Amino acid sequence: MKWIQLLIPCLLMSTITCGFHSLKFLSTGWAKPGDRPLVEQLTVFDGVPISYCDTVTKREQLKPTLESQKLPENCDEASLNIIDSLNDISRFMNSTVYVVQRRRGCILSANGMMFALEAWAVDGMDFITFDPESQRWTSQSPSAIPVEQRWNKNTLMNYAYRHFIRVECPQMIQKIQLRPIQQETELRVFAKPIVDTDQALLRCHVTSTDKSVSSVHLIGNGASRASWIIVTGPMPAEDGSVILRLTAEISLSREDDTYGCTVQTGSHNITVFWDGTTLDGRTLLYHSRVPWKMLTVIFGVICIVFIITIISCATICLLKCVKKKSSPPSRVDPQLLEQFTWIMESNASPDLHNVIYSFTRGTEPNRELQNRWGMSVVLRDQSYYDPDYFAHQIDGAHP
């Protein structure tokens, strides 16, 4: 297994740089209760998918990236191997197996050295591996021990597996040719807002046919303040390109912060800065550091205070209008009104006059009217008690 561990980093990089060609057959079989098992197989050459086959069509569907046609026309043998293994493994594990994965193939170096690979996984966990030199199986899980013992006794199957990965696979490698691919690298930078926060997820998506592309970096004066950064890839795509992705959590509270990404290729670097938009072109606005929930609470309190103020002002105005409005005059009997008028004319008391007037008019005592009646009484009294007045009256009466 050591040689596999040494080759994995090399295969993630350019196969040309490492001097290797690899051909791998990735098979997956799954069984649902009550349904027949299904199988799919993807053939990959130097990290580029070149063919696909399943149990429905049972014919290899060659990819446009493949120049030559030196591949098997169908995947019948691989499908039978997977289906038999599903039944075999389920029986010896005394449990239901839903998914079986198989990875087999070969790696051929420039100096002619060849390495073979045959490994199985069950329900996503390493299960058992095959050594083509000794034609022996080695369990990778305690549950695989019964299967290891049974498969080691099947010498005919083991010989066929060894012949395929040691003889047929290297022969296919020498006949496979890929179409020339123009080396292009595309870098897109966009963001996705995080709901109810002033944060966003910045994403730098790299698609490249240049196998020398291996890293992408976050740049800009706000890069050091990013909460976290995750880089995934390079991962192979179906069209022969590789994909890298950088994701970072950034803040939208500082308008002077800039963010971008740089991709390193074999010949030059590509740099793109974020223009403040999302994947669909919408613009993300910068926000203050006050959380949206707090702003909502503040706005609600302001609205409540405003409404209470309006209601209070309206109530005060209404009360003032009610006070200013005169009470309707009382209805007084006409005969009583005539008697009150005679009393007012014959009585000299201003207070009594004011009371009678208030009663007949339905108002508070009128101070102005009271003063007028007081003056009239004073003038009349002066007339009654003026000696000259009485002398004049006497002289007039007795000439």
Residue 165 belongs to a domain with what CATH number? 3.30.500.10
* Residue-level pLDDT at 153: 94
154 & 62 share domain = yes
Structure tokens at 205: 């998506």
Range of the domain at 49: 2-175
* Residue-level pLDDT at 332: 52
CATH code where residue 205 lies: 2.60.40.10
87 & 166 share domain = yes
CA distance 196 to 228: 19
How many distinct structural domains can be found in the chain? Answer: 4
Residue 259 has phi, psi (to 5 degrees) of -135, 145
Tell whether 74 is covered by a domain.
yes
* Residue-level pLDDT at 289: 47
227 & 255 share domain = yes
Q: Mean pLDDT lowest for which of 61-65, 251-255, 313-317, 372-376?
A: 372-376
140 & 12 share domain = yes
- Cβ density class 192-229: b for 16+ within 10 Å, e for less: ebeeeebbbebbbbbbbbbbbbbebbbebebbeebeee
pLDDT tens per residue, range 304-337: 888 988 888 888 888 877 665 554 554 556 666 5
Distances in whole angstroms, Cα of residue 357 to Cα of each of 73, 326, 339, 362: 124, 16, 12, 8
* Cis-peptide into 72, omega within 30 deg: no
264 & 218 share domain = yes
Q: Mean pLDDT lowest for which of 7-16, 174-183, 361-370?
A: 7-16
Instruction: List the Cα angle 229/220/291 in 5-degree steps.
Output: 65
Contact residues for 211 (Cβ-Cβ < 8 A; gap 6+): 13, 14, 15, 16, 47, 242
Tell whether 168 is covered by a domain.
yes
Tell whether 119 is covered by a domain.
yes
311 & 338 share domain = no
pLDDT tens per residue, range 4-21: 333 433 443 333 344 578
158 & 38 share domain = yes
Tell whether 308 is covered by a domain.
yes
31 & 135 share domain = yes
234 & 304 share domain = no
Please identify, among 146, 175, 204, the residue that sits at the C-terminal boundary of a domain.
175
Tell whether 78 is covered by a domain.
yes
Tell whether 279 is covered by a domain.
no
321 & 338 share domain = no
Tell whether 140 is covered by a domain.
yes
Please identify, among 131, 154, 175, the residue that sits at the C-terminal boundary of a domain.
175
250 & 162 share domain = no
Please identify, among 142, 175, 208, the residue that sits at the C-terminal boundary of a domain.
175
* Residue-level pLDDT at 325: 54
Please state whether beta strands 215-219 and 229-236 pair in parallel, antiparallel, or not at all (unpaired).
Answer: unpaired
- Which range in 82-91, 188-197, 366-375 is most confidently predicted, on average pLDDT? 188-197
250 & 115 share domain = no
Tell whether 369 is covered by a domain.
yes
